[in-house]
Structure 1
């Protein structure tokens, strides 16, 4: 065990022991027990209301305008009154949000929680069929949407009440009219209990139909309190670096560029910044050039996103040392951190605290994380397992494997749901409080989590297990490679063979260059047998994950 890992474990024990701020206890939840934070707030509403104390401070900045905390809560309270008294939304009923990142999205979320209703964030990348499916599966009583999503949903035709954030809304209430009406109505009231439902999120659906994951106030509060623990542990393990940065007295401002219907945008960026009085700059959608401009002009201090987003930004190479030195934290999540991103951190952000983490929708984003020099020391790791999280690594029969062996990751925690909503597939993914994540990984002797790949993406060639992400990261380290997807395709001799789809940037590469690079860094059986070059960006979902089945079908015609 290194000094860095020993320090982390010492700090964790100090923070989570009896009487400590993040004391961990064991609670009975149904037919199983979980580890939980004793001092976490009881409800999500209590957490949101913490933001009211920041008054006239700037909260939301965007191309569409600015909101102080007072402005934000005034609008939220007006909308809450409208929803409760005019739209007759009762506690426990579901209200959907279908719009791109905007102040109205954040206001809507807070208003819905304020009346004890359940927020249903819909995928704003969806078109009519997917949006209708989400509304049907959630049994939403009302949808709050922007103009483009309203045109896809057609609320009156679909048969659902709607509030539309547009200048005109012929078949629905307009946003301005709803707030105006709410301002003349009594204040909304609610008294949600910890086990009441708060949020219904749909999984990103890289394959198959999205599944509904419903979070209680208790689950939300535990997941959000875990983010606070990570912040406290980061400070205590990097005190000198943190104090040096804070001495600069740079106002905090987070660039919120990931979709709000995704757990990381919702929890780690929106709600955490609301609670602690920090400003957000909202991006309508991700664009690396625009993000670069905002870092330069808006004084952005925190950047979080999928690895591919941060690679896109840093590869542009236009941020000065002074501009990156303003950034207090740059963190990637949603996938294993490629070696290419570590190199870009070292090149462009040597003084910036960088972080990595692993979590998923079903676990409320909670799983493993770490930030600071230790992250760069242990390249490829996804962090230390959070104090309220239990992990086990299982073989295909569900038998637990020894520490250090690679297996499917099963997770159990106070922030993990125990089932999908009725009507969703894959209920067998849950067992005695454990959720079978579909991710393959292992835990090192020092307590660090390493991800290998998705179980369903693993290639078995002649009896050898091959993890595509290893080959993808190898190829991403080759100059000139912009994107790569590795998939398995049928092979009579070996069962499956390795195939790669590569998109180049600038001067194109040839097959020989790709193959030679792999042969220099990988075992022979991992070198792609087939290589094709893409001329356009590879398909990804809204959280920037590669759509492997669509890629395999498009480039290799291997069907299902």
Structure 2
């Protein structure tokens, strides 16, 4: 067994090989336990306003009462939530789950076209939307099956300060385009009405779907990954076991800057820390880095999650180096490759190692994490498979390759999705009959069981028959003084098929193309060196700050076509 799973002998002390998914009957059982155990503890804060576990229990019960008692929705119905990180989010989320409904997490930055696709595809009956994004909903709602709309303002639950926030958002910053949704109900009104109905108690089991998490929007039409109550419980327990004694129940404060509608923050920040009575500090607009840093100065936080671009952005924001990092014990990076230069700077400044993990929407999301041990350092790997998880490297035909060989990373475990919503054909492409999830990532496993991503299948650049992996190029270029951000793609070349092109955002305006090329000559072998360098003010990014190489490639194709 250990030959097939070499990682087990490198597990940190106290981490079990397997978890018992039957510890909880559903995600609702996890909520009930946390509400009871940590009643007086603050669960979520936003703009300085905190709500305790007891208050979240009461408010989410009212919301569940509204959904079932007033709207007459029932178990299995879909409800879309289209909000950034505000206090209304966990209340709507937990209320929907307690009513046995399926939550359709919806990116507030969606275009009308993307929103329409998701609402029609999921057949959502209801939606909770922040005022800022209601105009987008207005454009498409008549073409969807949505019957009930609940609207809310950023500051609605923040008390007196909230009225000021709402005024500024609407009249000063003019962030709310005018909209008309005549039958919409305000969130606070929904809570008031829901209070007169009993909390519904549907029977929910492991195989029931909890979330439709839409994914693949950057690779074509978005598909809804069906994440069940069992999937979510598994991932909470797996990651919880991995963190072990690092997490102190009732004592953690985690910075939640990644949006909760994204699977990384949803599982890691919301659910994993909720089970341990953590306080989640919701950052509504992390793109306003100066305001984000100002807020961090006022909080004694013990944990933070992010993607590489978020950590890099913080490191480059004035005032970040003045924060008291003494309570910080856990920094987690995922969602995209963490660059060594960023990880090393982060650890040097904060005194806390940046631990990289890996997963995808279809695995709820966590599949591997680096060991959480004292003296842990950034090592370039995505870690070891977590309890009850197997990773294999497979070839195109699904044959398992030996340790050290490069192929497609495949995941097996109780956190792997049930399939794509109403898409059996797409499900069959990624899920084998014996439960292996094909990730589309190319990697290898070393003799100790550590997994390394070499790159995305579709991002690979082929130069004169040599495979070039953008991650490697970007990692090297990031170390060049004066570089803030970089993305590498392949562009057609008549001699070698493809050559490497890089897009660079400068930190130092004095950085020239020649200096950068000289640096690459010193650090990269001939065929890997960028032949074309383009300086830009910004790079295209997804809603969680992942650099979109695909958009850069598509731009090039469009230019070539003309």
Q: TM-score range by the shorter chain?
A: 0.7 to 0.9
CA contact (8 A) 1:143 1:162 kept: yes
* Aligned residue among 485, 504, 513 for 1:511: 513
- Residue number in structure 2 paired with 1:187: 199
- Measure, in 1, the Cα distance between the counterparts of 2:300 and 2:399: 50
- Measure, in 2, the Cα distance between the counterparts of 1:418 and 1:375: 38
**Per-residue Cα deviation, 1:509-546 (whole angstroms, up to 9, x for no partner):** 22211111112111111001111111x21001112222
CA contact (8 A) 1:356 1:371 kept: no
* Aligned residue among 126, 139, 142 for 1:157: 142
Distance 1:413 1:519, change over 3 A: same
- Measure, in 1, the Cα distance between the counterparts of 2:228 and 2:22: 17
Residues 1:120 and 2:104 are matched in the alignment: yes
1:424 CA drift (Å): 7.7
CA contact (8 A) 1:230 1:370 kept: no
1:551 CA drift (Å): 1.0
Residues 1:295 and 2:296 are matched in the alignment: yes
Residues 1:171 and 2:183 are matched in the alignment: yes
Gaps of 5+ in 1: 1-5, 18-23, 25-35, 236-241
- Residue number in structure 2 paired with 1:206: 218
Gaps of 5+ in 2: 1-5, 157-179
TM-score (norm 1): 0.88
1:400 CA drift (Å): 2.5
- Measure, in 1, the Cα distance between the counterparts of 2:32 and 2:508: 50
CA contact (8 A) 1:539 1:546 kept: yes
After TM superposition, list the pairs within 5 Å mapping 1:73-112 onto structure 2: 73-112=57-96
User: Residue 392 of structure 1 aligns to a residue in which SS?
Assistant: strand
**Per-residue Cα deviation, 1:368-415 (whole angstroms, up to 9, x for no partner):** 102446785452111111122222212334333211111111111111
TM-score (norm 2): 0.88
- Residue number in structure 2 paired with 1:360: 360
Note the aligned Cα RMSD (angstroms). Answer: 2.6
CA contact (8 A) 1:292 1:313 kept: yes
**Per-residue Cα deviation, 1:341-375 (whole angstroms, up to 9, x for no partner):** 2221232022x243110000001112110244678
- Measure, in 1, the Cα distance between the counterparts of 2:128 and 2:424: 24
Residues 1:55 and 2:39 are matched in the alignment: yes
- Residue number in structure 1 paired with 2:171: none
List, as ranges, runs of 4+ consecutive aligned residues in structure 1 with deviation greater than 6 Å: none
Q: Which segment drifts farther, 258-267 or 423-432? A: 423-432
- Residue number in structure 1 paired with 2:118: 134
Distance 1:425 1:137, change over 3 A: farther
1:38 CA drift (Å): 4.9
Q: Which segment drifts farther, 327-336 or 419-428? A: 419-428
- Measure, in 1, the Cα distance between the counterparts of 2:95 and 2:218: 30
- Measure, in 2, the Cα distance between the counterparts of 1:420 and 1:38: 22
User: Residue 75 of structure 2 aligns to a residue in which SS?
Assistant: coil
Distance 1:406 1:558, change over 3 A: farther
After TM superposition, list the pairs within 5 Å mapping 1:306-345 onto structure 2: 306-316=307-317, 318-320=319-321, 323-345=324-346
Distance 1:14 1:39, change over 3 A: farther
Equivalent pairs counted in the alignment come to 525
1:489 CA drift (Å): 0.9
**Per-residue Cα deviation, 1:474-522 (whole angstroms, up to 9, x for no partner):** 1111111111111011112211111111111232422211111112111
**Per-residue Cα deviation, 1:79-136 (whole angstroms, up to 9, x for no partner):** 1001011111111111111111111111011001101111111112112211111111
User: Residue 298 of structure 1 aligns to a residue in which SS?
Assistant: coil
**Per-residue Cα deviation, 1:16-57 (whole angstroms, up to 9, x for no partner):** 36xxxxxx2xxxxxxxxxxx6355422111112122122222
* Aligned residue among 16, 24, 27 for 1:41: 24
Distance 1:250 1:41, change over 3 A: closer
- Residue number in structure 1 paired with 2:177: none
1:425 CA drift (Å): 6.7
User: Residue 416 of structure 1 aligns to a residue in which SS?
Assistant: coil
- Residue number in structure 1 paired with 2:350: 349
User: Residue 405 of structure 2 aligns to a residue in which SS?
Assistant: coil
Distance 1:136 1:59, change over 3 A: same
Residues 1:554 and 2:555 are matched in the alignment: yes
Residues 1:268 and 2:255 are matched in the alignment: no
- Measure, in 1, the Cα distance between the counterparts of 2:225 and 2:561: 29
